[in-house]
Amino acid sequence: MPPVHDVTIEPDNGGVTFYEEIGGYDTISTIVHRFYEGVATDELLRPMYPEEDLGPAEERFRLFLVQYWGGPTTYSDTRGHPRLRMRHAPFAVTPAAKDRWLHHFRDGLDAAELTPEQDAKFWDYVTHAAQFMVNTLD
């Protein structure tokens, strides 16, 4: 498993990136949109998003995942290095928040209808990343 802070995943199956393999931008958009539909009504997570409109956060997360999985580098071109822990430091990311985040992400992955292998690869990454973001134990 590559470190959470890596910016992109290199192609590992004949030059095709995982991004391309899963259907590219449209697939990641499906995942992220469903995720944010859940976050919008989640009493624990919603307060962690200070913007009234979740659209900008959804776009940032979409671009991050696009780049991470081997798509265009728009995220780092516009925002620099992801610095995930630093960007999340102002928020109390508890184990309960991690679990709620993963719940909504699971809904997003289910909506994308990936193959079992693709789903497992994506899920392995996000569960590792979610645990990495926990910064408060209570």
Question: DSSP secondary structure string, 9-75?
Answer: ----BTTB-HHHHTTHHHHHHHHHHHHHHHHHT-TTTGGG--SS-SHHHHHHHHHHHHHHTTS--HH
118 or 50, which is more confident = 118
Phi/psi at 102 (5° precision): -65, -35
**For 18-133, which CATH class?**
mainly alpha
Q: Distance (Å, rounded) from C-alpha 136 to C-alpha 116?
A: 32
Q: What pLDDT, in 10s, does the model give residues 104-120? A: 999 999 999 999 999 99
Please report the pLDDT score of residue 105 as a whole number: 97
pLDDT digits (tens, 9 = 90+) for 53-82: 999 999 999 999 999 999 999 888 787 666
pLDDT exceeds 70 at position 4: no
